[in-house]
Amino acid sequence: MAKIYLRAFGSGELSHVPIETLVALFTIKYCDSNVEIFLVESEKKDSEYIYLVDLAMFQYKFIKFDDISKISRACELPNLELDEKNCIAGLCGTLRQIIKNILIDSPDHSSRSLLGFKEQCLSACSEASIWTKFCEIDIVSMVGCKLTEDKENMIPLSLAKFENHMSQPVKLHNLFKYTMSKKFAGDNVTKDRKVLPEHTFAEGLSLTLADVIIFVCIHIYFISIDRTLVSDKLPLTIKWYENMLTDEKIMKSLEVLSNECIRLCKSVSSYSLPCIENYSLYKSDPKRYKPKNRIYTHQKDIDNSLEKIRSGNIQFGIDKLFAQDQKIDWSSIPLDATPQGGDLPNKRLKRKFEQLESLCKPILKLSKKGDIIVDFCSGGGHLGILVAYLLPDCKLILLENKALSMQKAKERVGRLGLKNVIFYQCNLDYFKGNFNIGACLHACGVATDLVLQQCIKRNAAFVCCPCCYGSIQDCSHIVYPRSQLFENVLEKRNYFNLVHGSDQTHDTKNVKTKQGYECMTIVDTDRKVQAEESGYKVYLNKLTPETCSPKNHLLIGWPYKLNYRFCN
C-alpha cells in the first residue's frame, strides 16, 4: 500500500499542521482514500501559519524524521512512496497519484471525475504549467504564511488572479467544441463569445482536483475575514465558493479542520483589490501572460557584450577531451538499454547514440562501486538506464517531473530486469538526497544550473550537457551571472545578450552560427568558473562528434579533493 508522508507539529489527535498537510488530509477525506498516513514531526518554519486538524477520522502514525523510509527522506514533504523504488513529491503529483491508486482497485469510483478531461487535471508539472504552479504554490502560499500588517487590508494577489481566471471564457476541449458545432446545434449557432458557457468550477463545468485544492485555501481565507466586505470585489469567487459548499462531500471533509478560530490577519473595515493584468492561468490560452519586460537582443547588443568579455580579459575556450580512454561496446548492450528501446524516430537514433556515449564515458571514468548517480531531467531514461546497465554495482536515480516520461522509463527498466534503479517523479529542486555523481542530457535553460547547484551543494561530481540557452533567466533559486568573475565584468543585461546569442547555433552555412557557439562557450565558461570558485576541477568539452547536436557542450567536474583519482 502507498504511504504518504506529511509534516506535522504535534503528536495528538488534535494536531497543528502546515497548509500543505491540511490540503492533503482534506483531499484524502474527500476521496475516501485508504492511503497509509505518516505524520512527520517537524520544526515550524519562520512566519509559517499552522492549522489545527482533527485526526480522529483517519488511520495515521506519528514518526520522527529519521524514521521516514530512505526513499522518501530524499524528497521534500509531502511525498508519496509507492514502493521502495518509486516516490512522487509535490502536492499536485502526490494527490493525483492517490486518486489513481483508488481507481486501480475501484475503476468506477466517483473520484475519477476529479482528474478531469482525459484525466489530465494538474498532470503538468509546476515548472511547465502556470495553472499547476497556481494550484500547487501560489494559492497555497496565500494561506501558508501570516500576512504582514501592511497587507492586511489588501486582498491577496492569488485571490485576485483567481477572480480574474473565473471571468475568462471556459476552456473547451476539442470534443466539447465539436459537440457544440453546427453538426449538433442546428441553425441557431452563434459565435458570440458572451453566450459561451461560464465557469461553474475552476476548470470549467465540472469539479476537479484543482477545485478541491483551491477551496481549502479560499475557505481558510474567507472564514478569517468578514466575507461581506469583499463581496463586491470577488463576486465570481464567492459564487464559486458558495456553490462548492453545496457539495455534501466538501462539507463532510471540512470536519478535518478544527473549529479553532482562524485569523490570518486582523479585522479591517474595508479591502482593496490589487491591480493585475488580464491574463489566463492556462498556458495554452492565447491570452496567457506575456512578460512586458522581455529582452529583445540586437546584433549591436551582442557585439557590445562580446567586447566587454574581451576587454575584461576573461579566457574562454574548449578543453582537451576527458575520459576518451573509456570504451562502450554497443553490440553487447540489450535493446531496451539503447536509444532503439526508447521510442525514438529513426532519424534521431544515430545522434542519440553519439550523445549518450559522450556522456557515458566521463560517468564511467568518475564512478566507483557503490556510487549513487542521479540522472536529472531524465525524460524516458535514455541516459540513466544505459548507465544503470553498464554500472550494476552503482545505484541509479531517475528524476523526472513528467509522469508519462517516467512511466516509459519504468517499463524499459522492467523489461531489462534492472534492480539498481530508483524513480523520483518530482521537480528538480524537491530532491534533497545525497549522491556522488549528477548527470543531465540537454537540461533546459535554468535546469542545468539547478543541477550544477545540487551537485556542488553535495560535493558530487557532475556531467552536464546544457540546452535552451535562450530560456535562461533569473529565478528564486538561481541568479546570473553565476560566477563572481563574470559578475565583476558583465552587467546583467550584457550577460543576457550573450545568453540569447547562444541560441543562434544554426547549420554551418548560417552566418550567425560561429557567433552562437562563441556565446555558448562564454555562458558555459561562466558555469565552469562558478564551479571552480566552489572548489571544483572542471572540463568544458564538446560532444563527439560535434555534429550530434547543435547544443553540444559538456561540463564535467569534480571536487578538487578527488583530483588524485582522475588526473593522470
What pLDDT does residue 260 have? 67
CA gap 117, 120 in Å, rounded = 6
What pLDDT does residue 249 have? 98
If you average pLDDT over residues 113-140, what whole number do you get? 92
Closest to 432 measured CA to CA, from 153, 73, 191: 73
pLDDT category at 507 given cuts 50, 70, 90 is confident
Q: What is the pTM of this model?
A: 0.91
How many other CB atoms are there within 10 angstroms of residue 1's CB atom? 9
If you average pLDDT over residues 124-134, what whole number do you get? 88
What pLDDT does residue 388 have? 99
Tell me how far CA of residue 279 lies from CA of 10, 195, 217, in angstroms.
Answer: 41, 20, 22
Which architecture characterizes domain 3-256 according to CATH? Up-down Bundle (1.20)
Q: What string of DSSP letters covers 315-364?
A: ---PPPPS-TT----GGGS-GGGSGGGGT--HHHHHHHHHHHHHHHHHHH
If you average pLDDT over residues 150-154, what whole number do you get? 72
Which residues are CB-neighbours of 347 under 8 A, at least 6 positions away?
Answer: none
How many other CB atoms are there within 10 angstroms of residue 184's CB atom? 9
pLDDT tens for 238-266 read 999 999 999 999 999 999 998 665 665 66
Tell me how far CA of residue 531 lies from CA of 90, 259, 458, 517, 524, in angstroms.
Answer: 29, 52, 12, 21, 11
What residue ranges do the domains of the chain occupy? 3-256, 299-566
Closest to 241 measured CA to CA, from 261, 264, 221: 221
If you average pLDDT over residues 505-534, what whole number do you get? 91
What pLDDT does residue 509 have? 73
pLDDT category at 345 given cuts 50, 70, 90 is confident
The cell numbers describing 255, all together, are 470536519
CB 411 within 8 A of CB 398: no
If you average pLDDT over residues 538-554, what whole number do you get? 96
pLDDT tens for 304-330 read 999 999 999 899 999 999 998 999 999
Q: Is the pLDDT of residue 393 over 90?
A: yes
**Please, where are the H alpha helices in 367-441?**
382-390, 403-416
Which architecture characterizes domain 299-566 according to CATH? 3-Layer(aba) Sandwich (3.40)
Q: Is the pLDDT of residue 180 over 60?
A: no
CA gap 8, 381 in Å, rounded = 35
**374 forms bridges with which residues in the sheet?**
397, 438
CB 214 within 8 A of CB 135: yes
Check residues 147 and 329 and name the one with the higher pLDDT.
329
pLDDT category at 563 given cuts 50, 70, 90 is confident
Q: Is the pLDDT of residue 344 over 50?
A: yes
Q: Is the pLDDT of residue 292 over 50?
A: no
What pLDDT does residue 25 have? 98
Q: Is the pLDDT of residue 299 over 80?
A: yes
Burial bucket for residue 215 (CB in 10 Å: 0-12, 13-18, 19+): buried
If you average pLDDT over residues 552-558, what whole number do you get? 98
Which amino acid, residue 532? E
Q: Is the pLDDT of residue 568 over 70?
A: no
CB 508 within 8 A of CB 550: no
Q: What is the mean pLDDT of the chain?
A: 90
Q: Is the pLDDT of residue 199 over 60?
A: yes
Percent of the chain with pLDDT over 90: 75
Instruction: Indicate the DSSP class of residue 135.
Output: I
pLDDT category at 178 given cuts 50, 70, 90 is very low
pLDDT tens for 27-78 read 999 999 999 999 999 998 888 999 999 999 999 999 999 999 999 999 999 9
Q: Is the pLDDT of residue 129 over 50?
A: yes
pLDDT category at 142 given cuts 50, 70, 90 is very high
Q: At what angle do helices 382-390 and 403-416 cross, to 10 degrees?
A: 30
Percent of the chain with pLDDT over 70: 89
CA gap 364, 54 in Å, rounded = 52
CB 209 within 8 A of CB 121: yes
Tell me how far CA of residue 71 lies from CA of 31, 41, 66, 77, 111, in angstroms.
Answer: 26, 18, 12, 12, 28
Q: Is the pLDDT of residue 197 over 80?
A: no
> For 182-196, 364-378, 465-479, 543-557, which range has the lowest pLDDT when averaged over its residues?
182-196
What pLDDT does residue 265 have? 61
If you average pLDDT over residues 98-125, what whole number do you get? 94
CB 69 within 8 A of CB 81: yes
CA gap 546, 368 in Å, rounded = 28
Q: Is the pLDDT of residue 226 over 60?
A: yes
If you average pLDDT over residues 435-450, what whole number do you get? 96
CA gap 445, 468 in Å, rounded = 5
Q: Is the pLDDT of residue 267 over 80?
A: no
pLDDT tens for 2-12 read 999 999 998 88
**Please, where are the H alpha helices in 434-512?**
446-457, 484-489, 492-501
Q: Is the pLDDT of residue 175 over 70?
A: no
The cell numbers describing 103, all together, are 481507481
Stretch (H or E) spanning 174:
helix 174-179
H helix and E strand count, the chain: 20, 14
Using DSSP, state whether 389 is helix, strand or coil. helix
Radius of gyration of the chain (CA): 26
